[in-house]
Amino acid sequence: NAGVTQTPKFQVLKTGQSMTLQCAQDMNHEYMSWYRQDPGMGLRLIHYSVGAGITDQGEVPNGYNVSRSTTEDFPLRLLSAAPSQTSVYFCASRDRTSGGLNTGELFFGEGSRLTVL
């Protein structure tokens, strides 16, 4: 299984440019999410989705958009990149809850390192 696949792995943008980070999973997971990782701050949740057609904001959603048209894909869009968005971005997915309780682990992609100049 490929698991969670992110592209691109590296990207350099200029301030004001837009781009999309792609995320795809082949595990038929309902829940998908995007995190950013910054030194000394751990991972912070940007957006998440509990199923196709459903998205919601996490801790740090400003400057990012998401959509979930299929179960497999969960792209993250930067509309107008800013230097503060320089970070490593991780996509993660999880299986549905079992018996109403979520006990599942998150499966992470390998990350996308974004630099905004």
Partner 1 sequence: AQSVSQHNHHVILSEAASLELGCNYSYGGTVNLFWYVQYPGQHLQLLLKYFSGDPLVKGIKGFEAEFIKSKFSFNLRKPSVQWSDTAEYFCAVNRQTGANNLFFGTGTRLTVIP
In the complex, what is the shortest distance from the CB of residue 2 to partner 1, in angstroms, rounded to a whole number?
13
**Three-point CA angle 60, 72, 69, nearest 5°:** 70
Return the closest-CA partner of residue 64 out of 76, 55, 48.
Answer: 76
Which lies closer to partner 1 via its Cβ, residue 5 or residue 17? Answer: 5
In the complex, what is the shortest distance from the CB of residue 42 to partner 1, in angstroms, rounded to a whole number?
4
Q: Is the Cβ–Cβ distance between 54 and 68 less than 8 Å? A: yes
In the complex, what is the shortest distance from the CB of residue 4 to partner 1, in angstroms, rounded to a whole number?
8
Q: What dihedral do alpha carbons 75, 21, 76, 27 form, nearest 10°?
A: 40
Which lies closer to partner 1 via its Cβ, residue 94 or residue 116? Answer: 94
In the complex, what is the shortest distance from the CB of residue 65 to partner 1, in angstroms, rounded to a whole number?
18
- The residues, any chain, with a CB within 8 Å of residue 40's CB and separated by 6 or more, are none
Chain contacts with partner 1 (rule: CB under 8 A): 31, 33, 35, 40-45, 48, 50, 56, 58, 90, 92, 94, 97, 100-103, 105-106, 108-111
Which lies closer to partner 1 via its Cβ, residue 28 or residue 80? Answer: 28
